[in-house]
Amino acid sequence: MNTTLVRNADVYAPEALGRRDLLLGGGKVLWIGTDAPDLPAAFGAETVDLGGHRLLPGLVDGHVHVTGGGGEAGFASRVPAPMLSRYTRSGVTTVVGLLGTDDVARGTRELVAQVNALREEGLSAYGLAGGYHLPPATLTGSVRADLAFIDCLIGVGELAISDHRSSQPTLEELLRVASEAHVAGLMTGKAGIVHLHLGDGPRGLDLVRRALDESELPARVFNPTHVNRRKALFEEAIELARRGCTIDITAFPVAKGEDAWSAADALVRYLDSGAPRGRVTISSDAGGCLPCFDAQGRVSSMDVGHSGALLETLRELLARGVPLEDASPAFTGNVADLLRLPSKGRIAAGADADLVALDDDGAVAHVFAGGRLHLRDGAVVRHGTFEKMDPQDNRSN
């Protein structure tokens, strides 16, 4: 069993525990305490001294286009799949992959294959069945069977509403797919959520409010994302969080004067609102196209999401004086709770050994995924299968 002794860590679990040592083995945190045990030489344990760096759970990115997104401006606009270290350089140790606008040329088979590839490379990876449109893209012919029989699929998404690219789902159609996801979650212990892409449409979250008012489905099933893309939409989302939904903020770029909140602004507003602190998460939309459309619905410009936006947001929050124990759950424990991943998102004996150490400037110094070092002293030590063939391999996020 590969064992590592992590010494002199300033642990945020996410609560501040102070200086601690940790023993990692078999992909788990085996022990955490203030006085590291003397290990027999036969253990062959490696020692990593963090020198007092802050240690927090590995970031859980709940919205990632692991196969690449895009496609709104033709086949040449399809975004390539991000490689392993694109995640780990950013402190991300768990990803949830999904399909977006293009759920035809890219499908569930490719998604499942890429999720499994990331698992083989040492990351924790999961996926969502379906995509923007209804009927949902599936492998088995139904959402419920996909979640029941395909291990890595844990929910549905990103299903688009209030967007000109959506399939314009009706309330009845939304309730049907949500009930499939919910029942599959009950059968399997999986998340069973419907991750809802929110566009710029004026209907906003009306469809979700109606679903809560007119059905017996629990609010936790409905998980709207991109809720900070319009300021009024964000206020709607906060009210849904009060009703039991978990809302997802996207760490996308926001221009000065734009009718949107940056991820850092949105989280601060959420925390100040008094809404339940466990019902907000932040994701990156990594690998996804971030398009702007003209009045005719054509792409006028585009950007690409990246997992590094999570760490940039966390660093901004810390610079603004938000305590790490208040900021980090939106990137870690809250996501894990929503996704029903009890061994993720916190540091404790028995939890998965997914850990991120931040240096004094808030940059990633070390990353452990499943107890194995992927980043050491800021340098990648574990690469994806094809990264050595990529001439941009050493370019940072």
- The residue from 318, 338, 358 where one domain ends is 338
Q: What is the CATH number of the domain that holds 16?
A: 2.30.40.10
Tell me if 166 is assigned to some domain: yes
267-288 pLDDT per residue, tens = 999 999 999 999 999 999 998 7
Q: What is the pLDDT of residue 331?
A: 98
Q: Are residues 44 and 145 in the same domain?
A: no
Q: Are residues 91 and 239 in the same domain?
A: yes
Show the tokens assigned to 274: 């008094």
Considering the candidates 265, 285, 337, 352, report the single residue annotated as catalytic. 285
Q: Are residues 229 and 267 in the same domain?
A: yes
Q: Are residues 290 and 352 in the same domain?
A: no
> What is the span of the domain harbouring residue 21?
3-56+343-387
Q: What is the pLDDT of residue 390?
A: 56
Q: Are residues 82 and 149 in the same domain?
A: yes
Tell me if 394 is assigned to some domain: no
Q: What is the pLDDT of residue 292?
A: 64
Q: Are residues 90 and 151 in the same domain?
A: yes
Q: What is the pLDDT of residue 41?
A: 66
C-alpha to C-alpha distance for 240 and 225, rounded to whole angstroms = 12
Q: What is the pLDDT of residue 396?
A: 44
* 285 assigned to active site: yes
Bridge partners (DSSP) of residue 368 are 355, 373
Q: For the chain, which residues score pLDDT lower than 70?
A: 1, 40-42, 70-73, 289-297, 299-304, 389-397
Tell me if 300 is assigned to some domain: yes
Q: Are residues 22 and 64 in the same domain?
A: no
Output the pTM of the full model: 0.92
Q: What is the pLDDT of residue 333?
A: 98
Total domains in the chain come to 2
Tell me if 162 is assigned to some domain: yes
Q: Are residues 257 and 289 in the same domain?
A: yes
Q: What is the pLDDT of residue 6?
A: 96
Tell me if 110 is assigned to some domain: yes
Q: What is the pLDDT of residue 397?
A: 44
Tell me if 397 is assigned to some domain: no
Q: Are residues 79 and 210 in the same domain?
A: yes
Q: Are residues 277 and 201 in the same domain?
A: yes
Q: Are residues 207 and 117 in the same domain?
A: yes
Q: Are residues 311 and 371 in the same domain?
A: no
Q: What is the pLDDT of residue 71?
A: 60
- The residue from 316, 338, 360 where one domain ends is 338
Q: What is the pLDDT of residue 299?
A: 60
C-alpha to C-alpha distance for 93 and 171, rounded to whole angstroms = 36
Q: What is the CATH number of the domain that holds 228?
A: 3.20.20.140
Tell me if 396 is assigned to some domain: no
